[in-house]
């Protein structure tokens, strides 16, 4: 079964270890590779991209590695694809220039 990794027990997102397609049943594993839960995938998720493990309300913190990586820019539901369309940096918001630079 395809897997996503939850880097720290405090995290509310997990990262895809392979690419997921819609309808995939995916196991979420810990950094020790223990299976923690199963999620059904609602959006195509490329390798290295993230899914939500819990509902994250707009402005709530998004946690990976046990640390804050940003805040939700809209309400996110468990299982949703989590990326720049629904999360913003608190430290340094993305600019158009960054998105066009290699």
Partner 1 sequence: MEFQGFERPNDLVGIRNTVLVMAVADCSEPAARMIAAGIEGAIPVTQHYGCIAMDIAPTLVGVAKNPNVAGILLVAMGCEGMQPEPLVEEISKAGKPVDVVNIQKIGGTRKAISRGQEIVKGMVDQAKKQRRKPFDVSRLVVGVKCGGSDTTSGLASNTAIGAMSDMLVDAGAAVVMIEPIEAIGAEEPLAARAVNERVKQQILKWVGNEEKRWTVPGAEMDFMCRGNVEGGLTTLEEKSLGAVHKGGHRAIKGVLKNQEDYLETVPPGGGFYLQDGTHMEPMAMSSMAAAGVHIVVFATGRGGVFGHAVCPMIKVTGNPDTWSKMSEDIDVNASTIMESKESIESVGKRIFDEVVAVASGKVTLGEQLGFYNFSVWRRDPRIEVLLGLK
- Where along the sequence are the contacts to partner 1 (CB under 8 A)? 3, 5, 7, 15-18, 29, 31-33, 46-50, 62, 64-65, 67-70, 82-84, 87-92, 94-95, 97-102
Tell me the closest approach of the beta carbon of residue 21 to partner 1, in angstroms. Answer: 16
Contacts of 56-64 with CB under 8 Å at 24 or more apart are 56/12, 56/82, 62/12, 62/13, 62/87, 63/8, 63/10, 63/11, 63/12, 63/13, 64/7, 64/8, 64/11, 64/13, 64/15
Tell me the closest approach of the beta carbon of residue 6 to partner 1, in angstroms. Answer: 11
Helix (H) / strand (E) element for 100: namely helix 96-100
Between 7 and 60, whose beta carbon lies closer to partner 1? Answer: 7
Between 3 and 55, whose beta carbon lies closer to partner 1? Answer: 3
Tell me the closest approach of the beta carbon of residue 49 to partner 1, in angstroms. Answer: 4
């Amino acid at each position: 079964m395809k897997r996503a990794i939850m880097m720290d027990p405090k995290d509310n997102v997990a990262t895809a270890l392979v690419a997921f397609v819609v309808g995939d049943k995916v196991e979420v594993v810990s950094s020790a590779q223990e299976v923690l839960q199963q999620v059904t995938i609602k959006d195509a998720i490329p390798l290295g991209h993230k899914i939500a493990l819990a509902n994250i309300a707009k402005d709530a913190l998004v946690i990976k590695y046990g640390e804050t990586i940003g805040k939700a820019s809209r309400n996110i539901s468990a299982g949703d694809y989590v990326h720049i369309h629904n999360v913003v940096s608190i430290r340094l918001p993305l600019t158009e220039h960054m998105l066009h630079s290699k």
